[in-house]
Amino acid sequence: MNPLPAARVMDRRTALKWVAAVIGVSLIRPVVQGAPVPPGTAGYGLDPDLLKGGEAALWPRTFTPAQRATATALCDIIIPADDRSPGAAAVGVPDFLDEWISAPYPEQQADAALILPGLAWIEAEAQRRFQHAFTGLTEAQAQAICDDVRHVSSAAPEFRDGAKFFKRFRDLTAGGFYTTPEGIKDIGYVGNMPLGEFAGPPPEVLARIGLA
Partner 1 sequence: MPVITSSRKQARYDVVIIGSGAAGGQSAYTLAMEGAKVLMLEAGRNYDPIQETPMFQTNREAPLRGADTPDKPFGFYDATVGGGWNVPGEPYTQASTDPQKQFWWWRSRMLGGRTNHWSRVALRNGPYDFKPYSRDGLGFDWPIAYEDVADYYDKVELLIGVYGTNENIENVPHSSPGVLQPPPKARAGELLARERGKSLGIPIVPAHRAVMTKRLDPATLPARLHPNNPKARRILAEDIQSRAACFWATPCGRGCSIRATYQSTTVHLPPALATGNLDILPNAMAREITVDAAGRATGVAFVDKTTGETHHAAGRAVILAAGSCESVRLLLNSKSSRHPQGLGNSSGRVGRYIMDTVGGGLSGQIPLLENLPPHNEDGAGGAHVYIPWWLCAEQKAGKLDFPRGYHVEFKSGRGEPGMGTGTNLEWLTGGSYGRKLKEDARRYYGSFIGFNGRGEMIPNEKSFCELDPTTKDKWGIPVMRFHWEWSEHETRQAAHMEKTFAALIGAMGGRVRNQPATDGARAIKPGGSIIHEVGGARMGERAADSVTNCWGQVWDSPNVIVADGASFCSSPDKNPTLTIMALAWRAADHLLEEMKKRNIS
Q: Which of residues 83-122 bind partner 1 (CB under 8 A)?
A: 84-85, 96, 99-100, 103, 105-108
Torsion of CA 187, 74, 143, 128, to 10 degrees: -170
Q: Considering the complex, what minimum distance in angstroms separates the CB of residue 197 from partner 1? A: 7
For partner 1, which is the closer residue by CB, 23 or 113? 23
CB of 27 to partner 1, least distance (A): 6
Under a CB-based contact definition with an 8 Å cutoff, are residues 67 and 82 in contact? no
Considering only 10, 44, 62, 135, the residue that binds partner 1 (CB under 8 A) is 44
Q: Which of helix, strand or coil describes residue 205?
A: helix
Measured at the alpha carbon of residue 152, what is the angle toward residues 105 and 113, in degrees to the nearest 5? 25
Per-residue b or e along 93-113, where b marks 16 or more CB atoms closer than 10 Å to that residue's CB: bbbbbbbbbbbebebbebbbe
Find the binding residues for partner 1 in span 142-181 (CB under 8 A): 143, 146, 150-154, 163, 167, 170-172, 174-181
- Does residue 60 belong to the site contacting partner 1 (CB under 8 A)? no
Cβ at position 134, least distance to partner 1 in Å:
15
Q: Does 70 bind partner 1 (CB under 8 A)?
A: no
Helix (H) or strand (E) holding 27: none
Number of residues that bind partner 1 (CB under 8 A): 106
140 near partner 1 (CB under 8 A): no
Percent of the chain as helix, strand, coil, to the nearest 5: 60, 0, 40
Name the nearest CA neighbour of 185 among 197, 193, 177.
Answer: 177
Q: Least distance from C-beta 132 to partner 1, angstroms?
A: 20
Minimum separation from the CB atom of position 145 to partner 1 (A): 11
- Alpha-carbon Rg for the chain in angstroms: 19
Instruction: Please report whether residue 131 would count as binding partner 1 according to CB under 8 A.
Output: no
Whether the CA torsion 77, 79, 85, 90 is positive or negative: it is negative
Tell which one of 60, 65, 82, 128 touches partner 1 (CB under 8 A). 82
The residues in 19-38 that bind partner 1, with binding defined as CB under 8 A, are: 19, 21-31, 34-38
